[in-house]
Amino acid sequence: MPPADTEQSGDGPRGTIAVDLSMEAGEWPPERVLSRLAATALKAAVEELELPVADGTEISIVFTDDAHIRALNREWREKDKATNVLSFPAMPVRPGVALPPVLGDIVLAAETIRREAGLEEKPFEHHLIHLMVHGFLHIVGYDHETDAEAEEMEAAERRILARLAIPDPYG
């Protein structure tokens, strides 16, 4: 899989995030499409957040189905239900600090994402990119446990998606 081009403008360091993409289960677009969408999502997030990314930085994105993400959700969050995306940071990161070389894993569930995109009448690719951005923000230290955190995270998502001409998912 080609790395997500995260070249930055300005004074920030330049680097790339290598994406380890795996398709475990579920009905997904072809790998080349997923690769392009992941690169697009990560590049926009890195640029919008002005993250200093060192060459060789890695992230894993797993495309799976509702059954697998439900098992992960039960095991790691004690929630026995499918969800659209889970993030597993390799190590704690706070917004604004240097990123570790291994960022962690983002896991996405096909059926839930398709169902949500249909219910919300939005293109599947837009919803998938939004959820990759959402998962990436968790990996780099954002959260939505409190109202203030949620407001900050959703604002970052809106700015990142606006770079890609994707409408506000919360609007």
- Over range 52-57, report the average pLDDT: 86
Does the pLDDT of residue 8 top 90, yes or no? no
Question: What are the C-alpha distances in Å from 27 to residues 56, 66, 107?
Answer: 30, 11, 14
Mean pLDDT value across the chain:
90
- Over range 145-171, report the average pLDDT: 95
pLDDT band at 14 (very low <50, low <70, confident <90, very high): low
Question: What are the C-alpha distances in Å from 12 to residues 3, 15, 52?
Answer: 19, 10, 6
